[in-house]
Amino acid sequence: MATTQAPAVRDRFAALLDPGRVIDHPLERRLYGRDGSIAQGDCGLVVLPETTAEVVACMRLAHDLGIPVVPRGSGTGLCGGAVPLDGALVLSVARMSRILEVDPSVPCARVEPGVLNLDLSTAVRHLGLHYAPDPSSQQACSIGGNVATNAGGPHCLASGVTAQHILGMEIVLADGEVLRLGGTAPDPPGYDLRGFVVGGEGTLGVVTEITVRLSRNPPHVTTMLLDFPTVAAAGAAVGGIIGAGVIPAAMEMMDQKMVVAVEAFVRADLPVEAAALLLVEVDGTAAEVASHTAVVERVGAETGAGRVRVARDEAERALFWKARKSAFGAVARIAPNYYLHDCVVPRTRLVEILARIYEIGAELDLVIMNVFHAGDGNLHPLIAFDRRDPEQVERVHAAGTLIIEACVAVGGVLSGEHGIGLEKRDFMPLTFSATDLEAQACAREAFDPEGRMNPAKVLPIGSRCGEIVLDAGSLPEGTWL
């Protein structure tokens, strides 16, 4: 297997693209050795193709040289999925950022993987359309990255995560072969390989084109902010609203520590004395919105909400959402680093798990803040810390393990939208049997027989068809910092 840092290898990739789109400077490679998680990898060359043909050429050369490849979008992922190991080649699709076609009659759009999530909705707003999955990082994350992790977002409670909005795609396999999967037909014939690739985290190939379903903008929207004296009361409101037959467009919760940090950052007049806030949004016809708003207000009153604040206009609604989507950035006021999980638990166990998360923070002397998708039980416990302190880092990892184990113990799953990557790879046996893991590994092998696509990710080392070329062993020392 060739090393990607050898001058001869660099020159061969530069001949396919141009020298300016082949990165080998040590500082730049170190930057590409990270994503939005706390993992630090070992990046070899970085290549920046701009077309499917260039991706094909790069993949064929990597295949000929036996080089492992890590596809990368915007690098905002939170589970180490885009972190290269052992000097792997990083193939960034960030320059493939064109919206190729919009068809309002379906409605759908055909886009390249580097298109930013929010840019797509902005581009089709004049048509009364939007792209529904809206991760908190939507200003920076790419559609290709959303496909890789099956990303969600606050507005996926009613509309579903990325998998429900991908109609078709083009994918370049490890040997350079190009496949087209799915399409705009209501029920494409054959196996749903499109659904398999969504959430594949770059272990199956490089997605180079995506046909996404667009949604029509609702005629009316109301956004409400409810504050509660206890987290249990807020949890009761979540169950009460859904139990009353209302599935909001979004239903988000923030605990007091997070509210205090966000208010200092955004200045949205949030009630910092509240133990928890619920941000609830309902949409539809005028009659539907009025009816659902009344239900939210009634349930809020019944469960002890101090105030139900209804956004007066679009400006205040935007401020509410700015507060929610600025939560992770606001943590910089608390500590220089954070570690974010995204386990999912049954809604009926939300309050119980939040109590356990607070216990874990107290036991390990860590600041843990919570902001999450309450409607579907997708937790986002955020541990604020300073990675320059090795002892503190050790406690952070211990807390992460305890949180995962607690969530799985009540019937939860490892991830709601961030993916598995490196972070949760070794926890997969908690929810999958050896037979399950073997089946997944064999499916992966069908796409990538040599195991060169994003090796050592998702499946635990030792899965039957796992990393069969690279002897990944354990993670390199210092990968998790």
Which stretches does DSSP call E strand in 248-360?
250-255, 276-284, 307-310, 337-340
Q: What are phi and psi of 276, to 5 degrees?
A: -160, 150
CATH code at position 46:
3.30.43.10
Check residue 472 and give its pLDDT. 36
Check residue 477 and give its pLDDT. 45
- Please check whether residue 451 lies inside any domain of the structure: no
CATH code at position 150:
3.30.465.10
Tens-level pLDDT at each residue, the chain (481 residues): 556 767 899 999 999 999 999 999 999 999 999 999 999 999 999 999 999 999 999 999 999 999 999 999 999 999 999 999 999 999 999 999 999 999 999 999 999 999 999 999 999 999 999 999 999 999 999 999 999 999 999 999 999 999 999 999 999 999 999 999 999 987 888 899 999 999 999 999 999 999 999 999 999 999 999 999 999 999 999 999 999 999 999 999 999 999 999 999 999 999 999 999 999 999 999 999 999 999 999 999 999 999 999 999 999 999 999 999 999 989 988 999 999 999 999 999 999 999 999 999 999 999 999 999 999 999 999 999 999 999 999 999 999 999 999 999 999 999 999 999 999 999 999 999 999 999 999 999 999 999 999 999 999 987 654 444 333 344 444 454 5
107 with 203, same domain: the answer is yes
- Please check whether residue 435 lies inside any domain of the structure: no
DSSP letter at 388 equals T
Check residue 180 and give its pLDDT. 96
23 with 64, same domain: the answer is yes
Which single residue is written with the structure tokens 């792209």? 131
- Please check whether residue 131 lies inside any domain of the structure: yes
321 with 402, same domain: the answer is no
- Please check whether residue 420 lies inside any domain of the structure: no
- Show the tokens assigned to 381: 């416990």
375 with 394, same domain: the answer is yes
- Per the CB < 8 A criterion, the answer to whether 475 and 85 are in contact is yes
Check residue 464 and give its pLDDT. 58
227 with 211, same domain: the answer is no
CB proximity list for 138: less than 8 A, separation 6 or greater: 116, 117, 118, 153, 325
Does the bond joining 381 to the residue before it have cis omega, within 30 degrees of 0?
no
CATH code at position 311:
3.30.70.2190
Which single residue is written with the structure tokens 């908690």? 430
212 with 225, same domain: the answer is no
Q: Which one of 186, 216, 246 terminates a domain?
A: 216
Which residues in 116-133 are b (16+ Cβ under 10 Å) and which e?
Answer: bbbbbbebbeeeebbbbb
Cα angle, residue 140 at apex, residues 139 and 144 outer, rounded to 5°:
115
Q: Which one of 328, 352, 369 terminates a domain?
A: 328
By residue range, what is the domain housing residue 283? 220-328
- Please check whether residue 465 lies inside any domain of the structure: no
Q: Which one of 170, 193, 216 terminates a domain?
A: 216
**Pairing between strand 129-130 and 166-172?**
unpaired
Q: How many domains, the chain?
A: 4
Cα radius of gyration rounded to whole Å, the chain: 22
- Per the CB < 8 A criterion, the answer to whether 396 and 366 are in contact is yes
Distance CA 134, CA 222 (A): 18
Number of neighbours of residue 207 by Cβ within 10 angstroms? 28
- Please check whether residue 189 lies inside any domain of the structure: yes
Check residue 333 and give its pLDDT. 85
Q: What's the length of the chain?
A: 481
Q: What is the end-to-end Cα distance of the chain in Å, rounded?
A: 28
Number of neighbours of residue 204 by Cβ within 10 angstroms? 24
88 with 14, same domain: the answer is yes
H or E, element range at 446: helix 434-447
Q: Across the chain, which distance is largest between two alpha carbons, in Å?
A: 70
Which single residue is written with the structure tokens 């195991």? 451
292 with 398, same domain: the answer is no
Check residue 187 and give its pLDDT. 81
Distance CA 117, CA 136 (A): 10
Which single residue is written with the structure tokens 């559609």? 143
CATH code at position 394:
3.30.70.2740
366 with 398, same domain: the answer is yes
The model's pTM: 0.93
In terms of C-beta density within 10 A (0-12 exposed, 13-18 middle, 19 or more buried), how is residue 2 classed?
middle
- Per the CB < 8 A criterion, the answer to whether 145 and 123 are in contact is no
- Please check whether residue 125 lies inside any domain of the structure: yes
307 with 236, same domain: the answer is yes
Check residue 3 and give its pLDDT. 63
CB proximity list for 271: less than 8 A, separation 6 or greater: 227, 259, 277, 306, 307
- Please check whether residue 457 lies inside any domain of the structure: no
CB proximity list for 419: less than 8 A, separation 6 or greater: 77, 79, 81, 148, 149, 150, 199, 201, 458
172 with 207, same domain: the answer is yes
Give CA 331 to chain center in angstroms.
18
Helix (H, G, I), strand (E, B) or coil at 156: helix
